[in-house]
């Protein structure tokens, strides 16, 4: 059976070139970058080059990049670290209702510590209104955190306009952007966004799991989550995951080199898929807008539970999801679709298709054919 993987927002397949780099670090350049001998120096060189690659991909200084175990740790370090370190200036924080769980639960943990949090609404397309964001900022506000691209529906937030407006309102507010779903796919420009902190992850761009990074603008102070050695300037102590860091850099180099070409390819795949859905399957609703990111498509297929379709397609070699992988084992409905105004029965019938540069038009056409037959079969059975 041919495998068609359309769950690339959950994770991506590691590219052979990236796996080769990881293998070399694990078996040849395996020194500890803190060691003073030749192998330690070689490992430090690998880390420095990786830092330079990530920084170059978003136009920031390499000294401002800090490696983490992934996007979740980067988000927690940015949010908890900024809130706790700057508590003397105020205790008000702002985020939106459609953030990734690693952001939402970090804010809920801070509420338990006495912080006050404003959760911004979104419109039917999943976007935050910049006026609402600015209005939420007051004299006691010390941090706002928003995602660039939503992981469930692909909504792109107007992060630049929001950054400009909130800084005009209160220049001391720290601004964190979760760019896990956009780095390597869309332009990521922290300076233009007026951002102070930006999170990245490797495994969304054909790199390894367990590797990520946080960009911290020089002059921004954070409270570390961990305590130990002085790695990463003491901000993220612990012996570095050198294989993951090298793999992250290798994946980033490839993604950044082909970003514009891949963007066009992904946009074509998404348009082809959406047009096919609308032509061949009745009662399908696109949950989003025509301005969403090119690699994520969320739809509702009326009358069929998303989970049923996920497993029915899996039996035929097609891998998709009902939404965020980090939410898949929880019974409550998607907080993203709920915030966008969908009813619970519509949310329960929703599916996420997410594409990568490895997908082809043949993948799209075969998935449409399988999906059409599967939907028709399930609807016939359930209507008897």
CA 94 to chain CA centroid, Å, is 19
* Rounded CA separation 41/150 (Å): 39
* Rounded CA separation 157/123 (Å): 11
List the one residue out of 198, 183, 126, 129 whose CA is nearest residue 161: 129
Q: What are phi and psi of 117, to 5 degrees?
A: -125, 135
Query: In this structure, are residues 77 and 238 in contact, taking their beta carbons and an 8 Å threshold?
Result: no
Query: Running DSSP on this structure, what letter comes out for residue 70?
Result: S
Residue 326 a catalytic site member: yes
Strands, E assignment, the chain: 4-5, 65-68, 92-96, 116-120, 141-147, 174-178, 197-201, 212-216, 284-286, 296-301, 318-319, 350-354
Could you give the C-alpha distances from 224 to 33, 233, 331, 335, in angstroms and in order?
20, 10, 33, 29
* Rounded CA separation 24/31 (Å): 12
Angle CA 357–15–51, to nearest 5: 100
Of the candidates 19, 326, 338, 358, the residue annotated as catalytic is: 326
Q: Is 254 left (phi over 0), alpha (psi -120 to 50) or beta?
A: alpha
* Rounded CA separation 48/162 (Å): 32
Strands, E assignment, 293-382: 296-301, 318-319, 350-354
Residue 276's SS3 state is: helix
Could you give the C-alpha distances from 287 to 129, 300, 303, in angstroms and in order?
18, 7, 16
Q: Catalytic residue numbers?
A: 326
């Amino acid at each position: 059976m041919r495998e068609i993987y359309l769950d690339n927002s959950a994770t991506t397949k590691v590219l052979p070139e990236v796996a080769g780099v990881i293998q070399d670090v694990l078996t040849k350049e395996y020194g500890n970058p803190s060691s003073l001998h030749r192998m330690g120096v070689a490992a430090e060189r690998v880390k420095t080059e990786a830092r330079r690659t990530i920084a170059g991909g978003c136009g920031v200084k390499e000294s401002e990049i800090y490696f983490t175990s992934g996007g979740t740790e980067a988000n927690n370090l940015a949010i908890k670290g900024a809130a706790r370190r700057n508590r003397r200036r105020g205790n008000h924080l702002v985020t939106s209702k459609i953030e990734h769980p690693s952001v939402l639960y970090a804010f809920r943990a801070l509420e338990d510590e006495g912080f006050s949090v404003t959760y911004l609404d979104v419109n039917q397309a999943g976007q935050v209104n910049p006026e609402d964001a600015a209005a939420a900022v007051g004299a006691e506000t010390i941090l706002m955190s928003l995602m660039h691209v939503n992981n469930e529906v692909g909504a792109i937030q107007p992060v630049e306009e929001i950054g400009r407006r909130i800084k005009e309102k209160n220049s001391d507010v720290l601004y964190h952007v979760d760019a896990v779903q956009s780095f390597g796919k869309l332009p990521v420009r922290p300076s233009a966004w007026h951002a102070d902190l930006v999170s990245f992850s490797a495994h969304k761009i054909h790199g390894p799991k367990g590797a990520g990074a946080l960009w911290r603008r020089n002059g921004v102070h954070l409270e570390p989550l961990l305590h130990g050695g002085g790695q990463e300037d003491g901000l993220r102590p612990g012996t570095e995951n050198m294989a993951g860091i090298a793999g992250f850099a290798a994946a980033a180099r490839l993604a950044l080199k082909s970003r514009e070409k891949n963007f066009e390819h992904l946009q074509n795949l998404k348009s082809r898929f959406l047009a096919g859905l609308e032509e061949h399957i009745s009662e399908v609703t696109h949950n989003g807008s025509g301005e969403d990111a090119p690699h994520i498509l969320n739809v509702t297929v009326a009358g069929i539970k998303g989970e049923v379709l996920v497993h029915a397609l899996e039996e035929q070699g097609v891998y998709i999801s009902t939404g965020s992988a980090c939410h898949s084992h929880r019974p409550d409905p998607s907080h993203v679709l709920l915030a966008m105004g969908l009813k619970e029965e519509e949310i329960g019938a929703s599916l996420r298709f997410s594409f990568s540069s490895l997908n082809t038009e043949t993948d799209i056409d075969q998935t449409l054919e399988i999906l059409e037959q599967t939907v028709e079969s399930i609807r016939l059975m359930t209507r008897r």
